Structure 1
Amino acid sequence: MVYTRKDVGTLTSSERRRFVDALLEVKRRGEYDEFVRTHIEHFVPDGENGLRTAHMAPSFLPWHRMFLLELERALQRVDASVTVPYWDWTRDRSPTAAPWTEDLLGGNGRRFDHQVMTGPFAHRNGRWPIREGVTDAGFLTRDLGRARDPVDLPTWRELEWALSDPVYDTDPWDSTVTGGFRGKLEGWGAGQGEASWRNHNRVHRWVGGAMVGGASVNDPVFWLHHAFVDLQWSRWQRRHGDARYLPEQPPPPADGQHGRIVSRHEKLPPWDVTPAELEDHSHLYQYA
């Protein structure tokens, strides 16, 4: 049966409670930390050797679509009614509105160490210890808006800049591309500060704390953010008709990206699935 992912701001109190409870149970079972480890393992930057799948590559969108599906399946093993909501950061831009409420994800971190003190994921509640990360902090951290070096959430106009590009991705298929929907949505740019982070990347920076870097899955907002990113891929597909994932074929052996990216019909690690097989989600879920 096809299920629906909803805007987090429209969830009923019961839907909020069920989503939070399912996340906490997946964490208690030890499954959640596996998701964190998987993202860290596949967060391979341009400058490193080896295959890039999760970021700085064409497979950014299908990789995270599959990642979301895996988390959603884990949640539904706890409560079959739960789906991952999405956070529309072009509209819900206040650090005190959904999803930053007491009954959802809690609010900002405190000033001196950014530890989240409110909501169900606060360390003092004892149900969300950080075990996998790039620092030794055992608690969830946030720095919404980055008070010391402010950054704004992306606007609808900036998102439209990505959606209007009719080409999925372009050579050299990494963080340096200047055209293509994937690159513009993922958000690597030239320059310093806010100018170098666009759309998806800037949201990670705006949330700050745990959301910066490979261990960003430690903040549950990761899933709401990526559900909205996934929705944009769906919208781009509807707008541009026959446009498909690129590259269609692997780069040739002489190309610097040979063996470093996944083409449309190659398997997408760590799963036995191709980007082509993930382009259509209509048989699994829809967006409200």
Structure 2
Amino acid sequence: MAYTRKDVTALTRTERRRLVNAFLEIKRRGEYDEFVRTHIEYYVSDGEGGLRTAHMTPSFLPWHRQFLLELERALRRVDSSVTLPYWDWTKDRKAGAAPWTDDLLGGTGRITDRQVMTGPFAYSAGNWTIRESITDARFLTRDLGRRRDPIELPTRSDLEWAMSDPVYDSSPWDSTSRKGFRNKLEGWGAGRGPVAWRNHNRVHRWVGGDMVGGASVNDPVFWLHHAFVDLCWTRWQKRHRNHRYLPAKPPGIGDEQRGRIVARHQKLPPWDVTPDQLEDVSGIYRYV
């Protein structure tokens, strides 16, 4: 029977407590840091050689869908009542609203070093030491809204720009693709700085701190953010029922993307699953 993923603002006090406790327990067990390592390993950009599965590639959405499922299963092994909530950043746009409350994820970092000082994931609480990262910091960092150079979260119209595109993805199947839902949602735009950060990418920048870069999983908001991205894909699928994951077949001989991206029926490392198998997850979970 399919379980439910809720809007984070709809969680009861008990649901918030159980979610936090499950996160802290898999962190205590060492499981959580494995997820951080996986994301760092598979954060491969256009400029690097080899296969891209997690970012700047058509499989951005199914890869993260499976990643969320793996994390959710770990949480549910601790507490079977727990499911991942989603953070609708087009609606809940203020740094003081959920999920940034003391009983959930805590707030922004302090001015001096961006260290998160409130909530259960603050280093001072003793339960959330950063062990896997691209820096030497041991504490969780955030800079909600970017104090020195403020930016805004994506708006509903920003998201609609992506949702209205009926084509899933298009050549050259990377961060430079200007057509297709996937890259418009992932958010690699033209130019530099804030104008180039769209939707998913802009949210990472707005949160700041650990959420910027391959070690972004160190901030639990990563999962709430990507649950909403996954919900957006689900909504796109319902709106554009005649359109599916692309490419359907691997790029041909001579194509520079050959061997660098995952086609619809190819395995999606590091798991034994294909994008095709992840297009319909209605038997596993649903959103409300």
Residue of structure 2 in register with 1:64 after alignment: 64
Write the deviation string for residues 106-157 of structure 1: whole angstroms up to 9, x where unpaired: 0000001000000000000110000000100000000000011111100000
Question: Could you say what secondary structure the match of 1:280 adopts?
Answer: coil
Residue of structure 1 in register with 2:137 after alignment: 137
Q: Cα distance, 1:22 vs. partner?
A: 0.2
User: TM-score scaled to structure 1, two decimals?
Assistant: 1.00
Cα distance in 2, alignment partners of residues 242 and 79 from structure 1? 38
Cα distance in 2, alignment partners of residues 187 and 52 from structure 1? 16
- Residue pairs, 1:30-109, within 5 angstroms: 30-109=30-109
* 2:65 maps to amino acid: R
Residue of structure 1 in register with 2:203 after alignment: 203
Residue of structure 1 in register with 2:25 after alignment: 25
Cα distance in 2, alignment partners of residues 109 and 51 from structure 1? 35
Cα distance in 1, alignment partners of residues 58 and 106 from structure 2? 33
- Residue pairs, 1:178-189, within 5 angstroms: 178-189=178-189
Residue of structure 2 in register with 1:254 after alignment: 254
The number of equivalent residue pairs is 288
- Residue pairs, 1:234-253, within 5 angstroms: 234-253=234-253
Residue of structure 2 in register with 1:166 after alignment: 166
Write the deviation string for residues 20-65 of structure 1: whole angstroms up to 9, x where unpaired: 0000000000000000000000000000001000000000000000
User: TM-score scaled to structure 2, two decimals?
Assistant: 1.00
Question: Could you say what secondary structure the match of 2:95 adopts?
Answer: coil
Q: Cα distance, 1:193 vs. partner?
A: 1.7
Cα distance in 1, alignment partners of residues 209 and 183 from structure 2? 24
Residue of structure 1 in register with 2:11 after alignment: 11
Write the deviation string for residues 203-252 of structure 1: whole angstroms up to 9, x where unpaired: 00000000000000000000000000000000000000121000000001
Cα distance in 2, alignment partners of residues 242 and 12 from structure 1? 38
- Residue pairs, 1:145-164, within 5 angstroms: 145-164=145-164
Q: Structure 2: 5+ residue runs without aligned partners?
A: none
Q: Cα distance, 1:194 vs. partner?
A: 1.4
Cα distance in 2, alignment partners of residues 171 and 150 from structure 1? 33
Q: Cα distance, 1:96 vs. partner?
A: 0.5
Question: Could you say what secondary structure the match of 2:204 adopts?
Answer: helix
Cα distance in 1, alignment partners of residues 127 and 242 from structure 2? 46
Cα distance in 2, alignment partners of residues 125 and 195 from structure 1? 37
Q: Cα distance, 1:191 vs. partner?
A: 1.3
Q: Cα distance, 1:192 vs. partner?
A: 2.1
Q: Cα distance, 1:97 vs. partner?
A: 0.5
Cα distance in 1, alignment partners of residues 181 and 54 from structure 2? 16
Write the deviation string for residues 229-288 of structure 1: whole angstroms up to 9, x where unpaired: 000000000000121000000001200000000000000000000000000010000000
Q: Structure 1: 5+ residue runs without aligned partners?
A: none
Question: Could you say what secondary structure the match of 1:28 adopts?
Answer: helix
Residue of structure 2 in register with 1:221 after alignment: 221
Q: Percent of aligned pairs with the same residue? A: 74
- Considering only aligned residues, what root-mean-square deviation do their CA atoms show, in Å? 0.4
Write the deviation string for residues 66-104 of structure 1: whole angstroms up to 9, x where unpaired: 000000000000000000000000000000000000000
